[in-house]
Structure 1
Amino acid sequence: MRHKIQKVELFIGVIIFLGGLLTYGLGVHRLLPVPRPDLVVYGTTLIGIILILMGCDIFSKPTKEIQILENDERNIAIINA
């Protein structure tokens, strides 16, 4: 269950990060009528980076199921055969 949440965090983080960079490239003042358009770019980019870092945790820790499958003697015997 946790891996699904981390995959969603990673996907949403990439979308928000790219959206922040896109608003920087297009000029936020044309897209959003806000008083400080520079803060919109910084905020969306920062939130995207934070979500990406939270989602990247999925690649660093093997789950209990993966560890069991790696150490299972039956799977090792099947692979060697």
Structure 2
Amino acid sequence: MNPLAQFGLSLLLLLLCVGGVLVLALVLAWQERAAAPDVRRQRLLCLVLPVASAVLALMLGAVFLLMAIWSPQGPDILASL
């Protein structure tokens, strides 16, 4: 893989991870701003947990792809995907 492409893709994946952390912070802050404990619990179950699961799965995939890109067997791994 071209080193410039490796760097660009790495930067993109790191930005994805930073964006994921920001989304998690935003969703958790929104959940905590509810006035009543019942509303906070409802927000947690209906929105925060599903969004957090999806964002964390995306971030885990990004980290895996980042490690695959920079490994010596990176082109072979990426070709098999």
TM-score, with normalisation over the residues of structure 2? Answer: 0.49
TM-score, with normalisation over the residues of structure 1? Answer: 0.49
